[in-house]
Chains A and B, each alone.
Chain A
Amino acid sequence: MSMIEFRKEFFRDERDDNLNEIGKPTRRQDILGHVTGRSPFYDDHLFEGLLHIRCARSPHHHARIRRIDVSEAERSEGVVRVLTGKDVPRNLNTLLSLLDFGLDDEPLLAETKCAYKGEPVAAVIATSEAAARAAVKKVRVDWDVLPHVLDVEEAIRPGAPTVCEVYPGNKFVYHGKYDHQKLRYGDVEAAFRQADHIVEGRYQMSPIEQAPMETCGAIAAPEVNDRYVCYTGTQALFFSLGTAAKVLSMPSSRLHFVGGTVGGGFGGKVDSIHEPIAILGAMLTGKPCKFAWDREEEMQVGAPRGAERWYLKDGVMKDGRIIARQFTGYFDSGAYTRLSSYAIIKGVGHLPGPYTIPNVSANVYCVYTNRTPATAMRGFGITGVDFAIEAHMDKGAEAVGMNPIEFRILNAYRDGDMKAHRREAKNCALVECCQVVAEKAGVRLSGEAAAAASTKGGGGERGRLPAHTVTDQDGRVEGIDTGGYARKGGGASVSVPTPPRPAAPQYQSAPTPAPQQAAPTPAPPPAPDAARKGALRFSSLSGFRRR
């Protein structure tokens, strides 16, 4: 039914295939444990007297907490202790603070308000899961319900409810300067004016649950020598350890994390919520504590792949060349940042997809809404925009009446081309993938598309930076510094001097019908702008850098 083949003939001269172990279909080291049911997942560590933790959660999308009363829950049968935000030594964190990126914006247990349905306000520790469940219902919260906002574009309109007070405009602040991440490469507006076709689209990527078969969780227990051991299903051992050390104000040397055999993750096990709560429980009760989500929590309060909304606009010539592409993107971060701000930078670095387009522009916003915070998932920062790009490419091909595969090959990036983030493309293989699929599906390609190669036709004019890039100060934000990570100039704002503007490049279609011979290159841009500050040199480590 299904099959797999290894097409060794491609790029053969770039590989030495005579290796002893690499390239062999060696069985998995862990397979015997898997088929005998003995692989030790975090919950396969048994503790006498294990206590169970379960959270009381907000029933509202957005509500201020007037008072939390845990007295009845504390008297409930089997309850050992009830934790609230006051018990957390440092009850405000942002996951990426370990990378010095973003401001602490999210409590482990909410104290003053909840910004999404399901946000935890208290953690009940009891002798059984059933006792914990029963006691959770007895946590009384006096709520002051607030207006909420769920749509990304509504959230950024003036007057929208503030989801997260750290970011009053409901937008993450990039580089301490803008309410979105910009990509500016060439002059899209000038190119749109010259394009034969304008293709526009709006795309919506849905929120998705990672749905690992093992739900998220951790067990913590007091260990000898005044340390705590934590068995965890985390995807990132030291990330979780570092987060726990921070929110518990505890030196990492007092923490012993054990994991590494995890029942699937797909991005859903990096948020490091279970480890600090389980350890805090072990600290305050002196007993082993387990904090795990049930499947319902996994699906509704476990952070999903966030929704994304993308608007795309292409300028396409009759011969199929895309000369300009513009993106506006909204990542739905939910109530807190978690990793969405970072996903956007990754997504922006990926634009405009695997194509060489001489004019590209993007504004991408990390937007706060009153829903479960988003986090990583397989394809983080890329899956949603790839859906948008490739659905859009289909429309572009249709607009110019081209075979969709030939349209991709014509515009595909090749070795030596300049990418919109201003680094040279290397190690490309899109063209070959397109050709192999066409061959397998019996789609006949034109001679030119069939003869194309990632190693041919790139670089040269295609490898030069645009003569002129239009920049702007739109979305300027004052007074918020979101950390030094990825910050140019180590924290100081740098404004780019505007060079004198040269003549805009001229784009012309090749004669119709779409030619067999026309080189798949955009019209050569004028000579690089002499006024540009600083020469470029190439560094094998970091690509081009301004000297």
Chain B
Amino acid sequence: MALHRGRGFAAINYPIGMNLGGDPSQALVHSNPDGKFTVALSAIDLGQGMKSVTRQIAAETLGVPVEDVYVDTADSDTGPHDMGSFASRGTHRVGNAVMRAAEEARAVMLEAAAEELEVDAADLVTDGKGNIHVKGAPSRSITTMAAAQAAQFRQGRTIAGRGIFLIPLSEVDAETGEMTPVSTFAHAAMIVEVEVDDETGEVSVLDVKSAYEVGRALNPKLVEQQLRGGAWMGMSHAAWETTEPYYPARDHGPVDFNHYLMPGMGDLAPHHISVLERPAADGPFGGKGPGEMCANPVLPAVVNAVYEAVGVRIDDLPVTPEKVLRGLRAQGGAKPKKRL
């Protein structure tokens, strides 16, 4: 009886945003009298970082520091309509709506500043630190706070903006499946190394090496959160989890975390991530959405690695010790295949 190591490869792409479009998102941006901004959304933060990424998008677009922006979500009385947080659509759809709202608010802010500075608004730029100045002449400057105060109390302008982003709904041809499913894709490739115990059938993931292309990484730490957590979930899908272990029979369905298995802290594998950034033409600052696709390459990479390790193809998830042992028995023991 022995432990066998094997490596498996998989590559995937992932459509960003709700398929076929038809999924609008709205955002409202407005300034307090002191030049601090509120973004009002109904979009949901369920841990993926909606509040944080839209805050950075708003700050970048407005040209103010991120500390000067607060994202308020989600209250149906104040936040305008959004389809919801699913389909990797948050960054792409809501981000674009926030950008448009912020652009509109920024334009008013610059008009207010132009009136105070007695220049043309088209000649003004922001320094991202809370100042607005004439392009090429940093001394002819006004703070965003002063511009906002002037707008509110002297000029009677609302520094506010509305934004909506909508990919129009695509038709689907009944005969050929012709459709316009998405506007952009994220990508990933991965090598997983496993160890298979040919006595117990247990599969351990030893190491993961990945490359994820996510469009522009709008916040590298939030991207890392998704990729690391998502790959862990993929590993869990591959070899641990299911609500119906003997599908299609419904027997032995787990009802607690002692029976619904997921890798714990002691089961982790080192995950070496490389991030590539090919900006999406229609993404906010080129961002895509890394939240869902990060799990997908792990599942096939694990079964492909098991095959290299012991020569057993597991085409039926999850890869349980029982399935590995049945496979080993059927072929008369481990038959490693060198593939990579």
Verify whether A and B have any Cβ pair under 8 Å.
Answer: yes
* A contacts, CB < 8 Å to B: 1-8, 10-11, 14-15, 19-30, 61, 99, 117, 150-152, 174-175, 177-178, 181-185, 201-209, 211-212, 234-239, 241, 255-267, 269-270, 295-296, 299-300, 304, 307, 332, 342, 345-346, 348-350, 353-354, 362, 369, 371-372, 376, 378-383, 386-387, 389-391, 393-395, 397-398, 403-405, 408, 412-413, 420-423, 426-430, 432-434, 436-437, 440-441, 443, 454, 469, 471, 485-489, 493-496, 541-543
B219 at the interface (CB under 8 A from A): yes
Q: Which of B9, B167, B188 sits near A404, CB closer than 8 Å? A: B9
Which residue of the partner chain, among B255, B271, B307, contacts A394 with CB atoms under 8 Å? B307
Q: In the docked arrangement, what's the CA distance between A393 and B184, Å?
A: 23
Taken together as a complex, chains A and B put the C-alpha atoms of A256 and B16 apart, in Å, by 30
A433 touches B173 (CB 8 A): no
Is the pair B276, A440 in contact by a Cβ cutoff of 8 Å?
no
Query: Please, how many angstroms separate the alpha-carbon atoms of A255 and B42 in the complex?
Result: 14
A475 to chain B, nearest CB (A): 10
Per-residue A-contact encoding for B141-176, CB less than 8 Å = 1, 0 else: 000000000000000000000000001111111111
| Beta-carbon contact of A21 and B271 below 8 Å | no
Contact A440/B217 with A257-B75, A423-B180 known, Cβ cut-off 8 Å: no
Q: Are B46 and A20 touching (Cβ within 8 A)? A: no
Stretch at the interface among B28-36, B112-120, B222-230: B222-230
- Chain B residues near A24: list those with CB within 8 A: 56, 66, 219-220
Known: A6-B277, A23-B220, A440-B274. A182 touches B316 (CB 8 A): no
Contacting residues, chain A, for B285 (C-beta < 8 A): 19, 22
CB-CB contacts below 8 Å: B167-223 with A: 167-182, 184-185, 187-191, 209-213, 216-222
Q: Which residues of B contact A496 (CB under 8 A)?
A: 173, 175-176
- Chain B interface residues toward A at CB < 8 A: 7-15, 19-20, 22, 41-47, 49, 51-52, 55-57, 59-60, 63, 65-66, 70-71, 73-77, 79, 81-87, 128, 167-182, 184-185, 187-191, 209-213, 216-222, 224, 227-228, 230, 233, 237, 241-244, 247-250, 253-257, 260, 262, 270-281, 285-286, 291-293, 295-297, 299-301, 303-304, 307, 313, 315-318, 337, 339-340
Q: Which of A61, A238, A436 contacts B84 (CB 8 A)?
A: A238
User: Which residue on chain B has the smallest CB distance to residue A256?
Assistant: B77
A175 CA to B70 CA, complexed, in Å: 44
Chain B residues within 8 Å of A270, by CB: 84, 86
List A contacts of B340 (CB < 8 A).
Answer: 403-405, 441, 443
Q: Are the C-beta atoms of B247 and A204 separated by less than 8 Å?
A: yes
- Which residues in B have their C-beta under 8 angstroms from that of A260? 41-45, 51, 73-75, 79
A262 to B85, CA, bound (A): 11
Q: Are A61 and B22 in contact, with the CB atoms below 8 A?
A: no
Residues of A within 8 A of B170 (CB): 486, 542
Q: Which of A20, A304, A413, A426 has the most CB of B within 10 A?
A: A20
- Mostly helix, strand, loop or mixed at chain B's interface? loop
- Give CA–CA (A20, B86) in the complex, Å: 28
Question: Can you name 14 A-B residue pairings with CB atoms under 8 Å?
Answer: A7-B274, A24-B56, A183-B176, A184-B175, A206-B318, A349-B15, A376-B87, A383-B299, A387-B317, A421-B180, A433-B187, A433-B211, A434-B189, A488-B171
- Residue pair A151, B281 in contact (C-beta under 8 Å): no
Q: How far is the CB of B308 from chain A (nearest CB, A)?
A: 9
- Whole-angstrom distance between the Cβ of A320 and the nearest chain B Cβ: 14
Cβ–Cβ contact B128 & A21, under 8 A: yes
Residues from chain B with Cβ under 8 Å of A152 in the complex: 248
| Chain B min CB distance to A321 (Å) | 16
Q: Chain A: which residue is nearest B303 at the CB level? A: A391
Q: How far is A273 from B75 in the complex, measured between Cα atoms in Å?
A: 19
Q: Is the CB–CB distance between A349 and B182 below 8 Å?
A: yes
User: A28 and B49: CB pair below 8 A?
Assistant: yes
- Complex CA–CA separation, A372 to B253 (angstroms): 12
Other-chain residue from A22, A300, A354, A395 in contact with B13 (beta carbon distance below 8 A): A354
Task: Please state if B244 and A206 are interface contacts (CB–CB under 8 Å).
Answer: yes
Of the listed residues B8, B71, B191, the one surrounded by the most CB atoms of chain A closer than 10 A to its CB is B191
CB <8 Å contact, B15 and A382: yes
Q: Nearest Cβ in chain A — how far from B187, in angstroms? A: 4
B222 touches A28 (CB 8 A): yes
- 14 new A-B contacts, CB < 8 A, other than A181-B177, A434-B189, A443-B340, are A2-B273, A26-B56, A175-B174, A183-B177, A201-B315, A236-B44, A270-B84, A346-B181, A350-B15, A353-B12, A378-B291, A382-B14, A423-B180, A488-B172
Q: Give min CB distance, A284 to chain B, whole Å.
A: 22
Q: Are B276 and A10 in contact (CB under 8 A)?
A: yes
Q: How far is the CA of A202 from the CA of B314 in the complex (A)?
A: 10
Q: What residues on B are CB-neighbors of A486 within 8 Å?
A: 20, 22, 169-172, 179
Contact of B85 among A241, A265, A412, A493 (CB under 8 A): A265
Q: Are B174 and A494 in contact (CB-based, < 8 A)? A: yes
Q: Is A29 touching B83 in the complex (CB atoms < 8 A)? A: no
- A437 and B278 in contact, given A207-B242, A296-B255, A382-B14 (Cβ under 8 angstroms): no
